C-alpha cells in the first residue's frame, strides 16, 4: 500500500470513528434520567435542607400518643392528606407500597427502607371516614391525627397532598423533583412515587444522608455507572 492510499484510508477510518463517537454520546445523553441531564432550578422555601423538621405530636387511630421524633433512625416520607382529597387517595397505593417495600431504584442492588408517616387533617367528625380509607387502601403506615391542623400551620402546608423527605435524624432533605425540575424540600401535589425517575430522586437524596442500610458510597457509586 503506497503512502497516499494509506493516508486516505486512515482519514476515512478517523472520520467514521468520530461520527460513531458523536452518535454514541448523543444516544447516552438521551437515555439518562432528566434529573441527571438537565440542571434543576432551586425553589426558595422556608425549610432548608439540613434543618431539623418541626415536631409533630398527636394520637393515632387507636388513641395512642404518637409523634414524628418516634421515627428517628429511619428516613421518613412525611405526607399531609385528608380523606376528602381525591389527589391524596390517587397516590395512596404508591405510598403504601413504599412503606411495605421501600424505594427500589435501578441504580442500586437493593431497596432503601423508608417510613411513610401520614398526617391526617380531617375533622373529628370524619374519624369513620379515616378508618374506612385506611382499610380500603390497606394502609400499613402510621397515621397521626391532626384535626386542629397544628402541624399544617407549622409546616406552612398550602394544600393536600404535600410531602416532605426527612433523613434518619429528622432533618429536611432536598429532592430533585423530576416533574417540576426543581430542587426542593417540599413536594406539592401528587407524584408517581413508584416511577423510576422519582425512585432515582429519592435514592440520591437519601444516599447523601448517611443511611446505614444503603450507604451513600454505594448509591453514588452506582450513579457513576
Q: For every one of its 225 residues, what pLDDT tens digit does the chain have, with 9 covering 90 and above?
A: 454 544 444 454 444 443 444 334 333 333 444 433 345 577 667 899 999 999 999 999 999 999 999 999 999 999 999 999 999 999 999 999 999 999 986 666 678 999 999 999 999 999 999 999 999 999 999 999 999 999 999 999 999 999 999 999 999 999 999 999 999 999 999 999 999 999 999 999 998 553 444 443 343 333 333
d(CA 97, CA 141): 10
Q: What is the pLDDT of residue 111?
A: 87
pLDDT at 218: 42
Separation of alpha carbons 146 and 67, rounded Å: 11
Q: What would the 3-class secondary structure string for the chain be?
A: CCHHHHHHHHHHHHHHHHHHHHHHHHHHHHCCCHHHHCCCEECCCCCCCCCECCCCEEECCCCCEEEHHHHCCCCEEEEEECCCCHHHHHCHHHHHHHHHHCECCCCCCCCECCEEEEEECCCHHHHHHHHHHHHHCCCCCCEEECCCCHHHHHCCCCCCCEEEEECCCCEECCEEECCCCEEECCEECCCCCCCHHHHHHHHHHHHCCCCCCCCHHHHHHHHHC
Q: What is the residue extent of each domain of the chain?
A: 53-224
**What CATH architecture does domain 53-224 belong to?**
3-Layer(aba) Sandwich (3.40)
Could you read off the pLDDT of 90-109 as tens digits, one per residue?
Answer: 999 999 999 999 998 666 66
Look up the pTM and report it: 0.75
Collect all residues with Cβ–Cβ distance below 8 Å to 117 and sequence separation of at least 6.
68, 71, 76, 77, 78, 79, 141, 142, 144
Please say whether the beta carbons of 224 and 107 come within 8 A: no
Q: What is the pLDDT of residue 39?
A: 55
pLDDT on residue 46: 82
> What is d(CA 125, CA 30) in angstroms, rounded to the nearest whole number?
52
Amino acid at each position: 500500500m503506497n503512502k497516499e492510499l494509506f493516508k486516505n484510508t486512515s482519514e476515512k477510518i478517523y472520520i467514521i470513528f468520530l461520527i460513531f463517537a458523536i452518535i454514541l454520546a448523543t444516544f447516552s445523553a438521551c437515555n439518562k434520567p432528566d434529573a441527571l441531564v438537565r440542571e434543576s432550578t432551586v425553589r426558595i422555601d422556608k425549610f432548608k435542607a439540613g434543618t431539623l423538621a418541626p415536631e409533630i405530636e398527636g394520637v393515632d387511630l387507636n388513641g395512642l400518643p404518637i409523634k414524628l421524633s418516634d421515627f428517628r433512625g429511619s428516613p421518613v416520607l412525611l405526607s399531609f392528606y385528608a380523606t376528602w382529597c381525591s389527589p391524596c387517595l390517587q397516590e395512596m397505593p404508591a405510598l403504601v407500597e413504599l412503606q411495605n417495600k421501600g424505594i427500589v431504584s435501578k441504580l442500586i442492588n437493593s431497596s432503601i427502607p423508608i417510613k411513610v408517616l401520614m398526617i391526617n387533617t380531617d375533622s373529628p367528625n370524619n374519624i369513620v371516614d379515616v378508618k374506612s380509607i385506611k382499610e380500603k387502601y390497606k394502609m400499613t403506615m402510621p397515621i397521626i391525627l391532626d384535626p386542629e391542623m397544628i402541624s399544617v400551620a407549622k409546616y406552612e402546608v398550602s394544600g393536600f397532598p404535600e410531602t416532605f423527605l426527612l433523613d434518619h435524624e429528622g432533618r429536611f432533605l432536598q429532592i430533585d423533583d423530576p416533574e417540576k425540575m426543581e430542587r426542593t424540600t417540599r413536594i406539592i401535589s401528587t407524584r408517581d412515587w413508584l416511577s423510576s425517575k422519582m425512585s432515582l430522586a429519592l435514592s440520591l437524596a437519601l444516599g447523601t444522608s448517611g443511611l446505614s442500610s444503603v450507604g451513600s458510597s454505594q448509591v453514588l457509586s452506582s450513579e457513576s455507572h
